[in-house]
A and B are shown apart, each in its own frame.
Chain A
Amino acid sequence: MNNKLQISLSGITLANPIIPASGTYGFGDEFAELYDINCLGGISFKGTTREARYGNPLPRIAECGNYGMINAVGLQNPGVEHVIAHELPRLKSHYNGCIVANVSGFSVQDYVETCAMLDKEPIDILEVNISCPNVHNGGMAFGTSPEAAAEVTAAVKAVTTKPVYMKLSPNVTDIVAIAKACEAAGADGLCLINTVLGMRIDIRRRRPVIANRYGGYSGAGIFPLALRMVNQVARATSLPIIGCGGVSSAEDVIEMMMAGATAVEIGAANLTNPMVAKEIIDRLPTLMDELKIEKLTDIIGIVNHE
């Protein structure tokens, strides 16, 4: 372990700040065929709901040039009971790092029940997704109003002793207001951003590429937007932030941390280069030497210091 890379989230030590983002890494099985996933600081596993979900009709994927992609998967998952019985024990058996349980719901009660069940399991952080743009009557609906975001935060906090990180949507007028509402309601941390609502049209068939019409845009193209929002929230709250959105290189990781992130999630980049998380972790020490960074904790939010 390289102590230069070590960071801490709500008292949990991570060997490095790199966490594959939920929905881009499954439960790690596919990536473990290519490298030892124990190099990762943490893993945010596939978004889990109270009941099993198939998700949205196909096609669910659209490309956006060289800069990213749109997905409208719609939280396909086997349901929390199956995750606890099968996926989590398997992940736990071959991964020793920080396990971030990503949870989504369609009512406050959904979030509460799912989080209460996971509270008894060997997970380290609950990442409460109030920002999925691909489901109706839930997901993002809770992340677009400060009141609803606070309600979910408080309700989940009441049923768990695990650190609760709220995953925020960029599809809002004022992300700072939502972040502050989560903080006031007792959130232990924040993760931002989820995908940006987007669209592509097949000009030959004259119809949307995505069957669900709109989907979540992710990839390198959203990095500046994510960075700006992380910085705004870092300046307005005192919660630890997991920065997410378009991160594709070790340089992006440093930038996210300088903006105010304590840890950094890698999303869409895992899908195009399955080695990217490991490559970033391997590259960080050299890059830090170049930038004269002694340890990563020294640069968190450094651009916000007077």
Chain B
Amino acid sequence: MKQRLFEIKSNEQIAKNVYRMQLGGDTTGILPGQFVNIRVEGQFLRRPISVCNINNGVLTIIYKVVGVGTEAMSHLPIGTQLDVLTVLGNGYDLSKAGDSPLLVGGGVGVPPMYMLARQLREAGKTVRVILGFNTKDEVFYEEEFCALGCDVTVTTVDGSHGVKGFVTNALDGKQSYYYTCGPLPMIKALLQAAGTNGEVSMEERMGCGFGACMGCTIQTTQGPKRVCKEGPVFPASELIL
């Protein structure tokens, strides 16, 4: 964990209720699948947000406005200094990817897939990506994943864009391993359809976000584990869903 000041370089809406914020500051040590915990003026608890990308001292996060904290974040102007805890959580294990990994992101579970996809592409992997959303208005980052050279499929529940249905409707079973992040019903369906040869980033309501309060501990086959510290990424085989 590090505590650093970051400066907002951009903060713009990219889909329905979804914003992208670019922050300038010390991004060293951040791994794909890790998260940052941001102090927002007027809120007691920090806001844990997964890392979408890091590039030359710029940290990109994508967040959905779901309550007062993220609402306040969406109004922060360029130049605002933010108190951020970084290098939080464990991140994805890239060594398990095999030759043709599958990345599955649902809604605001899509952002952490981006940095992972980039690094897997840089390592020469054939990367297939499935991005699931409810409807066309919510879709983001399809082009960005394509630009990395990934084979991208978008699904929408209402069929207004891409394949109609859920991410599981786009599975072909050819992956060497999978990585995923998304809402719990999606995770459950994915594990049922694709088995446990993969890893999952879990989301929980957190207190501190760095392992001190035990607020986000889940039960796993390996005993209680803190989502913020031993996670957020867990081998699919360890999850009790």
Contact = CB atoms under 8 A, between A and B. Distances in A.
B219 A54 contact: yes
A259 B216 CA distance: 35
B212 A66 contact: no
A64 to B, nearest CB: 7
Given A54-B224, A63-B43, A69-B44, A271 B212 contact: yes
B160 to A, nearest CB: 24
Contacts of A34: 1-3
A52 to B, nearest CB: 9
Interface size class of B (residues with CB under 8 A): 20 to 34
A73 B44 contact: no
A275 B208 CA distance: 12
A76 B187 CA distance: 26
Interface stretch (B98-106, B135-143, B199-207): B199-207
B214 A23 contact: yes
A23 B39 contact: no
B124 interface: no
Contacts of A46: 214
Contacts, number: 97
Contacts of A273: 39
Given A30-B1, A58-B204, A219-B44, A272 B213 contact: no
Interface string A225-257: 000000000000000000000000000000000
Contacts of A271: 45, 207-208, 212-213
B15 to A, nearest CB: 21
Nearest to A269: B44
Nearest to B215: A61
Q: Which of B45, B214, B217 has the most CB of A within 10 A?
A: B214
**Taking chain B's interface residues, is the majority helix, strand, or loop, or is none over half, making it mixed?**
loop
B210 interface: yes
Contacts of B229: 30
Interface string B33-57: 0000001001111100000000000
A91 B185 CA distance: 40
Contacts of A23: 213-214
A64 B44 contact: yes
Contacts of A60: 205, 207, 214-217
A107 to B, nearest CB: 23
A198 interface: no
B161 to A, nearest CB: 26
Contacts of A71: 207, 213, 215
B85 interface: yes
Interface string A37-81: 000000000100000001100111111111111010100100000
A24 interface: yes
A270 B45 CA distance: 11
A290 interface: no
Given A61-B206, A61-B207, A66 B214 contact: no
A69 B209 CA distance: 14
B107 interface: no
B45 A59 contact: no
B165 interface: no
Contact of B212 (A55, A58, A68, A274): A274
B218 interface: yes
Nearest to B219: A54
A208 interface: no
A306 interface: no
Given A64-B44, A219-B44, A58 B211 contact: no
A274 B228 CA distance: 15
A199 B94 CA distance: 42
26 contacts: A23-B213, A23-B214, A24-B213, A30-B1, A33-B1, A54-B224, A58-B204, A58-B205, A60-B217, A61-B45, A63-B44, A65-B43, A66-B42, A66-B43, A66-B44, A68-B44, A69-B44, A69-B45, A73-B214, A76-B224, A219-B44, A271-B207, A271-B213, A274-B1, A274-B208, A274-B212
- Minimum-distance CB pairs A-B, first 3: A271-B208, A61-B215, A59-B205
